[in-house]
A and B are shown apart, each in its own frame.
Chain A
Amino acid sequence: MGKRLGWATVTVVFVITLNFFIFRVLPGDPARAGLRDPRLTREAIEAIRVRFGLDKPVINCFESLNPVKFGDCAVNPLQTQFFIYVGNLARGELGVSYHLNRPVQTILVQRLWNTVLLIGAGQILSVLIGIIVGVIAAWKARTSIDYIALVGSLLAWSLPTFWLGIILLFWGSRELGLPIGGKITPGMSFASAKELWWDVGRHMLLPTLTYTIVFLGEYMLIMRSTLLDVLSEDYILTAKAKGLSTFQILKDHALRNAMLPMVTIIALNLGFTVAGAIQIETVFSWPGLGGAIFEAVGRRDYPMLQGAFLLLAVSVILANLIADLLYSYLDPRVQAE
C-alpha cells in the first residue's frame, strides 16, 4: 500500500516538473505571445513580466548555457521560477489566466465538477451495458448473437469521439430539438431544482450518449475476452460437476473472477476517458475541464492551459491509484503483499 502511494507521488512530482518545463522550455516568450497588443509600451510589458514572475531565472544558474560554478550563483534558488511555481501550487494557486484575468484555480474547479458529472454518467452507463453485452456474447460464443455484438463493438470503438458527437448533435438538434450546447439554457430562470435538473438533463443527453457509445465497445470486448478465458478454466468444470446451474456458475464463479481484469482496464482507460472528455466538451460546448483546454489552446492562454493539464493529469493519477487499491482489495491472491 505504501509502495503504491509512493509511486503515485513520484508520478505527480514528475508531472508537475514536466508541466512546468514544457511551458518554459518550448519556444515563445509567453508574455509576448500572450499579449500581441501593439499598444503596450515597453514599461507595460516589463510590468507584466514582473507580475507573472517571468523576470526571475527559470532555475538556478541555468539561464545562460555557460557552465557556472555552483557557488557563484548570486540568486537565491528559492526565488527561481520553478520554486515560485511549486510554492504557488502548494498554496493551491495555479496562476492567473491571461485571457480572463482571473485566478485559474477558481475557474477550473467549477469546471472540474462539470466534467466529473459528464464522465461519471457516461462511464457508468458504458460499463454496465458493456458488461451485460460482453457476458451475453461470451456465453453465446460463436453464435450469431456473439458475432453481431463483436462487430458492433469494433465499430463503436472505431468511431472518432468528436465525430460521433457532431453527428449526434446534428441529428439531435435538427430532428429532436435538443439543445446544441452548453450545460443549461442561457438566460432561463428556474422555478425549482427539479426544473433545473431537467434542463441540465436535456443538455446532457447527447454528450452522455456519445460517451457511452464510444466506450461501450471497448468494455464489451474486454469483458467478452476475459469471460471466455475464465469460462475455460478448470474450476468452472468443477462447478458444473457439482451440479450448479449455468446462472449460478456465471454469477458466483465466472463474473467474480472476470471483474478483476475489468477493474484494471477501467483504470487504464482513464487516460482515454479524459481524451474523450476534451472532444465531447468541445463539440457540445460543455463547460468542463476538457473544454477549458480547448479554449486555452485557441487563445494561447498558457496559465489556463498549464493549470487545466495539471488538474487533469493529477485526477487521472489519483483515479489510477484508487483502482489499484481496489484491485488488491478484491483479489485474495494479492492481499498477501
Chain B
Amino acid sequence: MQATAAATSFRGFWRKLQRNRMGLVGLVMLVTAVLVALFAGAIAPYDPKDPVPITIDDIYAAPGGEHLLGKDDAGKDVLSNFIYGSRVSLTVGFFASFISIFIGGVIGIVSGFYGGRVENLLMRFTDIMLVIPDLPLAVVLVALTRPRLSNIIFVIGILGWTGTARLVRSQTLAVKQRKFVLRARAVGAGNWHIIRKHIFPLVLPLIVVNTVLVISLAILNESTLSFLGLADPTAVSWGQMLNYAFTRGATSAGAWWALVMPGFGIVWVVLGCTLLGHGLEQVLNPRLESHHLSAAAPITAARTERLARRDLARGPVLLDVRDLSVDFEVPEGLPVHAVENVSFTLREGEVLGLVGESGCGKTTLMLSLMRLLPAAGRILQGEVNYLGKDLLSLSEQEIADMRWKEIAMVFQGAMNALNPVHTVGDQIAEAIVRHQGARSKAELEERISELLDLVGIGPERKDQYPHQYSGGMRQRAMIAMALSCLPKVLIADEPTTALDVMIQAQILELMSKLREQLGLAIIFVTHDLGVVAEMCDSVLVMYGGVTAEYASVDTIYNVPKHPYTQELLKAFPDLSRPSEKLVAIPGYPPRLDVPPPGCRFAPRCPLVFERCNLEQPRVHRLNGDHLASCHLVEPK
C-alpha cells in the first residue's frame, strides 16, 4: 500500500473525499452525532437527571404527545435519554480508541523499524493478545474492578490495540524497505530522522483510516459491556438503556421504542464510522476495481478504407491487421487514445519486432488482437484478419475457442503469469484439455513431458510449483505452455526484459530453434533494439500509439526514414561501436488523452517544421515494404 498523491496535499485529498459518496455520508453521520452529543442540553426536551413523579401509566408509556419516543421503565423520556446517551457512548468510544491507537502505533513502529529481538518479542506478545478473545477478557476485567467510566475506557483501550499494532508494523516494514529510506541512510541520516521524516508521514494515513475503525469497535464494545450489566450506573449510555429495557420487561410490554431507539443510535454512529473508513480507504488507496474478468465492451469496429500496407511476397499471410484503433476509458477524464490506426501483416515463419517505449501502445495492441483488453479498453475501429477471418467480428465463444489454439501469448515477468497454487504441469494440462479435449492421464503426462523437454526443462519438474522455478525457467515453462496446442502465432510480450543477458541468450536461441522446427510466426514486443536486430525479420516502430515506421529489419537499421527511429538508434548504445556518442531524445512521451494536435513526435523531433504541429502525418508507403508516418517522406 502506498500513500498516493492524494495524501500529499490536503486540498487534493479533501476534494477527492468529497467526491466519494460513501465517505461523505459517513462523515456527515458522525458529525451529526457529535453535534447532538455536544448540544444535548439544548436539544433534549427533558433532563434525565430530574426526578419525575410517576404512576403506573408512566412505565413504558407509548410514544405520543410530549414524549415523542415514549417513556422507559422508570417513566423517563426515551428521547432525552437517547440524546444524552450519545455523550457517554461517544466519549468512551473516542477516548478508548485513542489509547488503543497510541499503544498500537508505538508498538507497531518500534517493532517494524527496529526489528530483531525487539520486534520478535513485541510481535509474539501481540499475537498472544490477538488470539485471546477480547470481550470475555474485558468482561472479566470490568467485573472484577469497579464499573466506573474511567475503568471501562481503560479496559477497552488496552484490549483494542492489537489490530492497529499489526497494521502499523507491516506498513512500517514496507516503508522501511523502500528505496528512499535506503537513500536517506546512504546520506547518513540517523534513525530518529528517518522515523520522523520518512516512516511516520507515510504510516499516518493508514493510522487515520484505522482510527475510524477502532472508534467503531470501541463503541460497539462499550455498548456490549453496558448491555451485559457492566456499565457505570451514573453514566447512562445507549447500551445501558438497552440493558435496562431488556432486563426490565420491555419485550413483554411490547415497548419497542425503548428497544429500537438506543440501538439505532449505536448503529448510526458505527455505520457512520464504517462508511467514513471505507471512503477514506478508497481515497488513500485507490484501487481500480475493474479486473480481467470485468465484462468487455461491445466492439463497434468500423471497416475503413484500405490505407497503405506492407506487401511482401513471402509465405502465406497469417495475420492481417488493418487500421486498428483502441481507446481506454478513464473515470472522470478524457479517453486515452492508446492505439491509433495501426496496420501490419504477419506471414508464416516471420518474426515481427514491435518496438517502442513505455506508453507507446504496444502491449495494448497485442492484447486487442485476441480481445483480451480489460473492461476499460474499447476497440474503436479496424480489422484483425486471421487466415481471412476477422477476429473482431467473432462471438465471445468463438474467440475463446481460437485463443491459444491459433494464437498464444507469453507474458513478461512470468512470476505472476503462472498461478502459484497450481503445479506447472497442471497449468499446461489445462490448456491442452481446453482445446484438444480430455485425454487419458498417461497421454497428458507424456505430452507435458514432451513440451517441457522441448524447452529444456526436465520432465520431473512438471509436478513442481512456479515458485520452485527460477526466472529463466519460468519463462521457458510459459513458452512450453504456449506451444501446447501447436499455435501458428506466438506473441511474446517483453519475454526477456527481466532476465539476465545470458539467460536471455538462451531463451532467444530457444525461440529461434522453435521457429525453425515448428514454423512458428512470432510477434516479439520489446524496447531492446539489439534483440530486435538479432531476432526479427521485420520491425514495427510505434510512438505515442501510432505507427512511426514499418519495414524489414535491414531497412530500419540502415536507412530509417522516420526521425523517431533515427533518434532512437542514436540513443541506443552499441557494443560494436562503443565510442559513438549517444544522443538522448529530449522531452518525454506524449499524453495520450490530450495528444499533440499534429504529429505525435513533433514536440521532440529535431527535424520539426510548422506543418508538423498542425497536421498529423498519414502513413506513407516509401517503396514496396517500407512505411513511415512523417511529412518529410510524403511522396510528391
A residues with a Cβ closer than 8 A to B are 7, 10-11, 14-15, 18, 22-23, 26-28, 138-139, 141-142, 151, 154-155, 157-163, 166-167, 169-170, 173-174, 180, 228, 231-246, 249-250, 252-254, 256-257, 260, 268, 270-272, 274-275, 278-279, 282-283, 293-294, 297-298, 300, 305-306, 308-309, 312-313, 316-317, 320, 330-333
Contact = CB atoms under 8 A, between A and B. Distances in A.
Given A163-B263, A173-B251, A257-B419, A275 B465 contact: no
Contacts of B419: 235, 238-239, 253, 256-257
B267 interface: yes
A235 B143 contact: no
Interface residues of B, number: 77
22 contacts: A14-B128, A142-B294, A154-B271, A155-B267, A158-B271, A160-B227, A160-B267, A162-B224, A162-B227, A163-B227, A236-B293, A240-B403, A245-B400, A268-B130, A272-B134, A274-B136, A294-B139, A300-B143, A308-B136, A309-B140, A317-B132, A332-B467
Contacts of B290: 141-142
Given A231-B292, A279-B224, A241 B403 contact: yes
A274 B133 contact: yes
Given A160-B239, A163-B242, A257-B419, 12 more contacts: A11-B127, A22-B141, A141-B294, A158-B267, A160-B266, A166-B259, A237-B417, A238-B417, A252-B430, A256-B421, A271-B130, A293-B139
Interface string B116-138: 00000000100110111111110
Contact of A159 (B267, B293, B403, B418): B267
A180 to B, nearest CB: 7
Contacts of A14: 128
B224 A160 contact: yes
Contacts of A228: 287, 289, 291
Contacts of A167: 259-260, 263
Nearest to A260: B421
A243 B400 contact: yes
Contacts of B278: 154
Contacts of A23: 144
Nearest to A271: B133
Contacts of A151: 22
A26 B134 contact: no
A42 B134 CA distance: 39
A153 B130 CA distance: 24
Interface in B247-304: 251, 254, 256, 259-260, 262-263, 266-267, 270-271, 273-275, 278, 287-294
Contacts of A245: 400
A310 to B, nearest CB: 10
A166 B270 contact: no
Contacts of A278: 135-136, 139, 224, 228
Contact of B136 (A249, A254, A309): A309
Contacts of A257: 419-421
A240 B372 contact: yes
Contacts of B288: 232
Contact of A233 (B124, B132, B416): B416
A249 B291 CA distance: 13
A187 B162 CA distance: 46
| Listed residue (A236, A253, A275) with the most chain B CB atoms within 10 angstroms of its CB | A275
Contacts of B292: 231-232, 236-237, 240
Contact of A236 (B289, B291, B408): B291
Interface of B: 22, 124, 127-128, 130-137, 139-141, 143-145, 216, 220, 223-224, 227-230, 239, 242, 246, 251, 254, 256, 259-260, 262-263, 266-267, 270-271, 273-275, 278, 287-294, 370, 372, 400-405, 408-409, 411, 413, 416-422, 430-431, 434-435, 465, 467
| Listed residue (B135, B229, B266, B422) with the most chain A CB atoms within 10 angstroms of its CB | B135
B123 to A, nearest CB: 11
A282 B228 contact: yes
Contacts of A249: 293
A319 B289 CA distance: 33
Contacts of A253: 419, 422
B133 A333 contact: no
Contacts of A305: 140, 143
Contacts of B216: 158
| Listed residue (B132, B278, B400, B403) with the most chain A CB atoms within 10 angstroms of its CB | B132
A231 B288 CA distance: 11
Contact of A161 (B128, B132, B224, B289): B224
B104 to A, nearest CB: 15
Contacts of A166: 242, 246, 251, 259, 263
Nearest to B264: A163
A317 B131 contact: yes
B224 A244 contact: no
A154 B622 CA distance: 63
A95 to B, nearest CB: 15
Given A231-B293, A275-B133, A155 B263 contact: no
